[in-house]
Amino acid sequence: MMRARAAVLRQTGTPMTIETVDVGPVAAGDVLVRIRAAGLCHTDLEAIEGSLAVKLPAVLGHEAAGEVCEVGAAVTGLAVGDRVVLSWNPHCGNCYYCERAQPILCAQFLGNGPLAFHFDGRPRLSCDGVPMHQLMYLGGFAEYCVVPAQSAIRVPAAMPFDCAALLGCGVMTGVGAATRIADLRWGAVAMVIGCGAVGLSAVQGCRLAGAGAIIAVDPNPARRQLAQALGATEACDPSQAIEAARSLTERRGADVVIEAAGRPESFRLSVEVVRPGGQVVWLGKIGVNESVEFRWGSLMQEKRITRSSYGGAKPAQDFPLLARAYLDGTLKLDEMVSARIQLAAINDGFAALKRGETVRSVVTFA
């Protein structure tokens, strides 16, 4: 056991408190990671506000990077000092879904998720003897965390921690949506709705996949400008999206539309703007019990709709590839980091995220 500072959520709708927690034990298949950077994601904000149910008290944070400082007795392929990005999707590898290459649907992953502890269903954090819950098997808003070895993915030592953290969720989801989920053909017309961290990553994924035109849609002019700096060839307000897509496609509509805003109106727009026979990939989300209404005609004409939570992630393969793409200048991440903050300022960071002032604030640990 060791002690570490962590941001603890004890009641939804209230600020997190900075407390000292006990970290451990490190089981045979675990690694202890010293967290060096953790991104502030909308999923964490949903947990704070209560729209995403998580057991409390909890340490949030699921987009993080750090260095290995202890390995369990059964761990191979990782060593003390390795720089790692954490994956929030550990999986068993042998259930019905894992055998069909759908680890995001792993029976153990989904079954133990509501417990909000480690992947084996047991806690690895506590405070004054009381077990602390972990969001999405990690709990990255702490100086240290214990994770299953498969969740700690080694990346090149040259990868800066603040940018590495983004790979663990927002970047993987967005880039993966364009390169793994979407049937995005070379020269196709793609549209990305919503230019937060996930949407901006999807823009870059479309660029990497060879899209001929990439239309970034967002009501915020600054976000549209950033999207163009990262690879969008066009940018517009949502009210102009349908005409923008038609003007580039002889009135057909976009070949692929990636929705990353998570609003009812953006889901509706995504199916209105895609061409007949085209594909829509939904990355955004609303409350699980909320409803979205559609004009039935917008769903016709052989349109295909796919919902993706993690961009088809294969972390062991994808995180090192994304890191190398950053290091060679192909993938741009510095531009997406709006602020680097200390753990004590985490509540202010989430307030700024809610106001739409930041793409990604990153908590950095010394």
Q: What is the CATH number of the domain that holds 180?
A: 3.40.50.720
β partners of residue 35: 66
Domain co-membership, 16 together with 90: yes
pLDDT tens track for 245-275: 999 999 999 999 999 999 999 999 999 999 9
Q: Is the preceding peptide bond at 57 cis, omega within 30 degrees of 0?
A: yes
Q: What whole-number distance in Å separates Cα of residue 3 and Cα of residue 7?
A: 13
With respect to residue 68, please indicate whether it lies within any of the assigned structural domains.
yes
Q: What is the pLDDT of residues 68-82, one digit of tens each?
A: 999 999 999 999 999
d(CA 85, CA 320): 9
Give the type of residue at 311.
Answer: G
Tens digit of each residue's pLDDT (9 = 90 or more) over 212-237: 999 999 999 999 999 999 999 999 99
76 and 197 share one domain: no
Q: What is the pLDDT of residues 169-196, one digit of tens each?
A: 999 999 999 999 999 999 999 999 999 9
Averaged pLDDT, 311-331: 97
Q: How many CB atoms lie within 10 A of CB 293?
A: 8
If asked whether residues 137 and 192 sit together in one domain, one would say no
Please provide the average confidence, as pLDDT, over all residues in the chain.
97
Within-domain flag for 323: no
pLDDT in tens, 343-359: 999 999 999 999 999 99
pLDDT band at 366 (very low <50, low <70, confident <90, very high): confident
**Residue 284 placed within a domain:** yes
Same domain, 7 and 141: yes
What pLDDT is recorded for position 346? 98
What confidence tens digit (pLDDT) does each residue in 149-164 have?
A: 999 999 999 999 999 9
Position 274 scores a pLDDT of 98
Q: Say if 203 falls within a structural domain.
A: yes
Residue 91: name the closest of 78, 101, 104, 72 by CA.
Answer: 104
Residue 288 has a pLDDT of 87
Residues 146 and 178 in one domain: no
Q: Does a structural domain hold residue 126?
A: yes
For residue 1, pLDDT beyond 90 = no
Residues 61, 141 within the same domain: yes
Cβ atoms of 304 and 279 within 8 Å: the answer is: yes
Chain-centroid distance of CA 328 in Å reads 22
82 and 225, same domain (yes or no): no
Give dist(CA 11, CA 56) in Å, integer.
Answer: 7
Q: Are residues 35 and 142 in the same domain?
A: yes
Residue 44's domain is classified under what CATH number?
A: 3.90.180.10
Listing DSSP states for 267-318 in one string gives HHHHHHHEEEEEEEEE-----TT------GGGG-SS-EEEE-SSTT--HHHH
Q: What is the pLDDT of residues 7-44, one digit of tens each?
A: 999 999 999 999 999 999 999 999 999 999 999 999 99
Question: Would residue 324 count as lying in a domain?
Answer: no
Task: Specify the pLDDT at position 218.
Answer: 98
- Identify whether residues 245 and 358 lie together within a single domain: no
291, 307, 323 — which closes off a domain? Answer: 307
Same domain, 149 and 7: yes
Alpha helices in the chain (DSSP H): 42-49, 107-112, 161-166, 172-176, 197-208, 221-229, 241-247, 264-273, 315-327, 346-354
Q: Does residue 279 lie in a domain region?
A: yes
- Angular region, 262: left φ>0, alpha ψ -120 to 50, beta rest: left
Task: Say yes or no: 9 and 121 in one domain.
Answer: yes
Cα–Cα distances in Å, from 358 out to 163, 222, 241, 302? 15, 11, 23, 37
Domain count, the chain: 2
The burial of 295, by beta-carbon neighbours within 10 Å (0-12 exposed, 13-18 middle, 19 or more buried), is given as: exposed
Any domain includes 209: yes
Q: What is the reported pLDDT for 347?
A: 98
Whether residue 239 sits in one domain with residue 128: no
Pairing of strands 234-236, 213-217: parallel
| Residue span of the structural domain in which 296 resides | 174-307
Which pLDDT tens digit goes with each residue over 80-139?
999 999 999 999 999 999 999 999 999 999 999 999 999 999 999 999 999 999 999 999
